[in-house]
Structure 1
């Protein structure tokens, strides 16, 4: 079976642990995964927010992000996120991207999943 490409679009920070765990499962199957974080979901990519945030849903998000980066999952924060007034201080391995990057990845994907 050919490897598949998946794009996750995460707009709620409460969905991030679930999405990261599912993405890690897909990577184990040799699939390619990109995760785009926008709106409230982008908060988890901010170093300041991640440091303040207690463990969410019994999950250490810092550890999950480290595993995701090491597995080759691409993490993108919206460059135009209006919910974070002073901008994002991105965690290691994440990068800013716009709608063009999202669309390019989405058009190449076998599935786009929104959370």
Structure 2
């Protein structure tokens, strides 16, 4: 079976732990994975949010993100989220992108999964 190009579109931060675990599993099978974080989902790309999640929910998102990036998973945050009132301290390895980047990536993908 040929490797697939999968795009995950995450708009809810509460879905991120599940998406990261699923994306890691798919990347370990040789699939090419890109994750776009938009709306509430983009909050997880903020270093301050990761610390809050670990403290309040006992979820080590920083570890999951590092594992994902080590497997070559690409993280994009919506560039409009830089308009968040207190700014965004982007996690290392994540990039900001706009709708054109999302559409280009999505058109080349075998599947786009929305969470």
Which structure has more helix as a fraction of its residues?
2
Unaligned runs of 5+ in 2: none
Residue 67 (structure 1) shift: 0.2
Q: TM-score normalized by structure 1?
A: 0.92
Alpha-carbon RMSD across the aligned residues, in angstroms, is 1.6
User: For residues 8 and 86 of structure 1, do their structure 2 counterparts lie closer, same or farther at Cα, with a shift above 3 Å needed?
Assistant: same
Cα shift readout 1:27-75 (whole Å, capped 9, x = no counterpart): 1110000000011100000012212333576531010011011010000
User: For residues 86 and 58 of structure 1, do their structure 2 counterparts lie closer, same or farther at Cα, with a shift above 3 Å needed?
Assistant: closer
CA distance in 1, matches of 2:88, 2:51: 13
Superposition misfits of 4+ residues, deviation over 4 angstroms: 55-58
CA distance in 2, matches of 1:53, 1:105: 29
How many residue pairs get matched? 115
User: For residues 114 and 50 of structure 1, do their structure 2 counterparts lie closer, same or farther at Cα, with a shift above 3 Å needed?
Assistant: same
> Are 1:11 and 1:40, in contact at CA under 8 Å, matched by a contact in 2?
yes
Partner residue, 1:36? 36
